[in-house]
Amino acid sequence: MNHNFCFLSLLPILLSSVAYFFYLFVPESDIPLRYQIPSYRAAIDSRNHPTIPPPISSANSPSSTETFSRNKPIANMGGQPNLLAFPDVDKLAPTLRTYILQAQTAGLHRHDSFKVAVSGGSLPKTLAKALLAPATSAEEKLQFDKWEIFFADERAVPLDHEDSNYCLLKAELLDKIPAELGQPKVHTINTDLLDDVQEMADQYEKLLVESFAARDSVKLPIFDLLLLGCGPDGHTCSLFPGHELLRETDCWVAPIEDSPKPPAKRITLTLPVVTHGVKIAFVATGGGKKEIMKQIFEGGGGLPCTLVNEGGLDRVTWFTDSPAVEGVSFPRRGSL
């Protein structure tokens, strides 16, 4: 009787100890197995929900600020993407620079480096316009030596090929960075693997693991900033409309061998990685983007760019020019 009583009174303590053990040491099932390193849940949580500092005010607001009513709300009430519209790219560039500087400050504060993912296409040219302009104050110093650049997507071609996103970024920006600002660490693809994009993606993912998960297990790499483009079909990175890759939830970097836009073979960050960035910026300029911008902001169900909007909500900021948003019904702003 006494023994039974003793056992029953100890049972809750025993059960909660077992539960606590599981809580501390059993990794979450959605962490890819190969990255599971036992660590405290708190470490996982804090890395996946970094503190996002409030934005600093912009000294470079463009002259026009237009507001239009929205037709269709983007799902989820947790905020909505920011749509910034400028008369042209020259007016857009200073605000993009301020925004990147804010992200840099926050990244350096968090982990003494600035982890950025960059796209190809039309983006690097606009980026160069924003970043190569002379500084207007001592505080707004770009510290490229602290930058760690990954590619949001890359084509499986040699690094000096005209289709290479690295080649483009190098020609437009990297080669032109003044020596006194330092040089970023740039993670290129392994071009020994041009015929094996699965292995190329796996190796690129390992680079991310080394950078983001060196000490703790993490569910996803949290970029300080993703700089993205938007194709005229609504694709971003190498995530194309209707493609099965949009359903990828396990790996961080995926291969694609049937890209509808040449070249067919590429690697890309996956949607969960993109939508978990601290800041996610799209740059979409020119009249060629007008039709797809309407679809994205007025109910583009399932388009890759829409999925990023829905996943990233108010962490997403669109930098556009007037021709790209002509006729788009969505509230826009002219400053950060």
Ligand X SMILES: O=C1O[C@H](COP(=O)(O)O)[C@@H](O)[C@H](O)[C@H]1O
Minimum Å gap between C-beta 295 and ligand X is 15
- Residue 5 makes CB contacts below 8 A (sequence gap 6+) with none
| Nearest CB to ligand X, comparing residues 47 and 155 | 155
- Residue nearest ligand X, Cβ-based: 121
| Nearest CB to ligand X, comparing residues 153 and 205 | 153
Minimum Å gap between C-beta 318 and ligand X is 13
| Nearest CB to ligand X, comparing residues 120 and 300 | 120
CB-CB neighbours of 294 under 10 Å? 18
- Token pair for residue 152? 């949001």
Minimum Å gap between C-beta 282 and ligand X is 9
- Token pair for residue 330? 């969505």
SS3 267: strand
- 318 closest CA partner among 279, 275, 269, 281: 281
| Nearest CB to ligand X, comparing residues 35 and 282 | 282
Strands 253-256 and 266-269: antiparallel
The DSSP 8-state label assigned to residue 122 in this structure reads: T
Minimum Å gap between C-beta 65 and ligand X is 25
N-term to C-term CA, the chain:
72
- Token pair for residue 8? 């029953």
Residues forming the site for ligand X (CB under 6 A): 119-123, 152-153, 165, 229, 231, 236, 238, 261
Minimum Å gap between C-beta 195 and ligand X is 19
| Nearest CB to ligand X, comparing residues 121 and 272 | 121
| Nearest CB to ligand X, comparing residues 119 and 217 | 119
C-alpha–C-alpha distance, residues 217 and 88, integer Å: 43
Minimum Å gap between C-beta 250 and ligand X is 22
- Token pair for residue 19? 């539960």
